Structure 1
Amino acid sequence: MEGFFLYNQAEQLMEQYPLTVTETAKGRGAIICITECGEKILKEYKGSAVRAEILHDVAEYLNKAGIKTDGIITTTEGAFLSGSAEEGFYLLKDWYSGRECDTKSRDDILEAVAQLARMHQCLAQYDGQIPEGFFVSEQILIGEYERHTRELKKVRNYIRAKKKKNLFETKFMEHYSGYLTQAEEVEERLKEQAAHREESEWQQMYGLCHGDYNQHNILFRKEGIWIINLEQLHVDVQVSDLAHFMRKILEKHNWNTGLGMDMIRAYDKKKKLSAMECEQICFRLAYPEKFWKVANHYYNSRKSWVSGRDIEKLDKVTGQEKERQQFLEMLFHFVR
């Protein structure tokens, strides 16, 4: 419904910009506009005007530094958003056609990791004002994992109370104990690291992060690599981006140890990883995120019938566990 509204309001919204639109086309939840200044994309935006201004400034900073991204275009009156509180706010951004990072291509993956390291290095030097709301503390990650673990226990308790269990529930209970142990160990190690950290080293790990670094937000063009969609930008341990990308890729590659270690090396070659950063990557990949996600989806969906897709996803997670543990063992050895 929102996409329908945007398509019908696009012409009116575009009148707020100093551009002439000659053609429009529907994109993914957005409108692509052909203008005399190139292609632009009009997207719904849920954040504040202050946040939009920071996104604009950071994009300008990155582009000037040679890290290509999609900049935000201001309205005729210099505003960073168009629309209204009643009808919703929108961002107009530069839009680029290009080839998304191919998750089957080792070269694409390693180039994407190297570009992430360059972006992090650049963002670490950003000296613009960043509001407090952008900052994420280590306690938020610990709290998030503790919540996930409580949810796993809730699923366990629900299933255990059932007299007759379906196939998903039987499989879940077979593997639950091992994954719970993993979850609790990661929580304890994160707390231990937080308690014994050197503050100066801890601060050096922090900087602006992309927030959603995945293959869809990495474009390969003849001019180079574009990193787009910075809307989830925040200040956190920068290697959180790397861990997020590694998890996405390694799940698709059956936790291939060689590829995983090559990703670590590709990042380290451009931006040296500290021992504490390596530990952070280990902890984030060691938490059984995918097992929790599958269990949580099952618990929050209709349980009167079991989804074949949920069983398929659970089988894939548990089927990759041997390879995942081999990779984590290698990674923890690398850290030591």
Structure 2
Amino acid sequence: MYDYGLSTLTQYGIEVKSSSRTRGALVCRTEQGILLLREFHGSEKKLLFQQEVLKKLSQEGCLVDTFIENQEGSLVTRDKDNIPYTLQNWYEGRECDTKSREDIIRSVQILARVHKFMNMPVEKAYMARSLADEYARHNQEIRKIRKFIRQKGASARFEKEFLGSVQWFLEKGEKALEMLVKSDYEKLRDKAGEEGLLCHGEYNQHNVLLCKNQAAVTNFGHFSFDVQISDLYCFMRKILEKYNWDVFLARRMLEQYDKIRPISSEEWENLQIRFTYPEKYWKLANYYFSHNKAWISGKNTEKLEKVIAQKKIWGDFPENCFGKSPF
């Protein structure tokens, strides 16, 4: 019978009282507390660096999912089938509820606090790629997808919606790239490299566990040295899509972050540029292009239609939110 890696716990000298499945892992209740057992797919070298980041955050009083060494002093443990697993400290709590503005604000405050302590000696291997290069590549991909659909003919609803809207969104993408090149983005990127500033890389509602009196941040596996404000942008974008680009909520999120970790004028400008780029539109188009085109997900089509329906309010959002002075 497949044990989902539970047998590896003997190599830690840990006995499990009970376990339950969660997203891609097992939550184990033990005498040492709640632990998370997960199959490991990454680089062990990067894992060791991640552990150093987590230890530093933990020493600063942040609740994070530090890894536990087995009896041989390794962070990775293999079962009898040679499948690698990791074991992490875990917490009793619930994910951030995106329907709760209180949870949203609390999650922003937690991110600001974590960012204050997320700096390490730079490892060039973990530097994030340039946002300018990323925007240029994404714009090229949108053009490629437009050409592909035009040549084959738009038959599916998704393809028709895409062709009818692509020019408007592509112009927004080109505008964002032009703004980025003219901005102080490279100075921000240089600062991140010089000061060893780290980003979580995937800060969203699923990676924030709200406990009784504290909150834990989890899943740092996508960390990189980068402009930290990118984490705030990623969290805000996913929330604001659900709130129809509510400027009041956006300003409140920015204000709460700024109270703990001040936002510089260069970062403020960078946030405005990031919100100018049609990232969700590109993601949906890219998903279509890289998957089976004989059957196009109805859910993906609905998402595209929602993005198009919100284009006026989304297009006005950067100026309405960031045109005003920072706090």
Q: Normalising by structure 1, report the TM-score.
A: 0.89
Query: Superposition pairs for residues 1-336 of structure 1, below 5 Å?
Result: 7-11=3-7, 13-83=8-78, 87-124=82-119, 126=120, 129-137=121-129, 139=130, 141-163=131-153, 165-193=155-183, 197=187, 207-334=197-324
Deviations 1:37-61 (A, max 9, x none): 1121111222222222222222222
Partner of 1:15, secondary structure, is: helix
Deviations 1:238-293 (A, max 9, x none): 01100000111001111111111111111111111111111221222211011111
Partner of 2:84, secondary structure, is: strand
| Alpha-carbon distance in 1 for matches of 2:88, 2:189 | 38
Displacement of 1:136 in angstroms is 1.9
Displacement of 1:301 in angstroms is 2.8
Against the structure 1 CA distance between its residues 78 and 305, is the aligned structure 2 distance closer, same or farther, given a 3 Å change threshold?
A: closer
| Alpha-carbon distance in 2 for matches of 1:275, 1:69 | 30
The total of aligned residue pairs comes to 326
Displacement of 1:72 in angstroms is 0.8
CA RMSD of aligned residues (A): 2.5
| Alpha-carbon distance in 1 for matches of 2:275, 2:92 | 32
Displacement of 1:85 in angstroms is 12
What amino acid sits opposite 1:308 in the alignment?
Answer: G
What amino acid sits opposite 1:70 in the alignment?
Answer: D
8 Å contact from structure 1 (residues 212, 241) kept in 2: yes
Partner of 1:73, secondary structure, is: coil
Partner of 1:323, secondary structure, is: helix
Which deviates the most, 165-174 or 97-106?
165-174
| Alpha-carbon distance in 1 for matches of 2:110, 2:249 | 17
| Alpha-carbon distance in 2 for matches of 1:77, 1:160 | 59
What amino acid sits opposite 1:211 in the alignment?
Answer: G
Which deviates the most, 113-122 or 190-199?
190-199
Displacement of 1:150 in angstroms is 1.4
- Unaligned 5+ segments in structure 1 are none
Q: Normalising by structure 2, report the TM-score.
A: 0.91
| Alpha-carbon distance in 2 for matches of 1:199, 1:29 | 33
Which deviates the most, 73-82 or 166-175?
166-175
What amino acid sits opposite 1:322 in the alignment?
Answer: K
- Unaligned 5+ segments in structure 2 are none
Deviations 1:12-51 (A, max 9, x none): x112213222333322221222221112111122222222
Displacement of 1:202 in angstroms is 6.4
| Alpha-carbon distance in 1 for matches of 2:180, 2:81 | 43
What amino acid sits opposite 2:97 in the alignment?
Answer: D
Partner of 2:323, secondary structure, is: helix
Displacement of 1:197 in angstroms is 4.0
Displacement of 1:217 in angstroms is 0.7
Displacement of 1:86 in angstroms is 7.7
Which deviates the most, 105-114 or 301-310?
301-310
What amino acid sits opposite 2:277 in the alignment?
Answer: Y
Displacement of 1:308 in angstroms is 2.4
What amino acid sits opposite 1:283 in the alignment?
Answer: I
Displacement of 1:223 in angstroms is 2.4
| Alpha-carbon distance in 1 for matches of 2:186, 2:6 | 53
What amino acid sits opposite 1:79 in the alignment?
Answer: S
Deviations 1:136-184 (A, max 9, x none): 25x2x22222221111111111222244633322221221111011111
| Alpha-carbon distance in 2 for matches of 1:325, 1:161 | 29
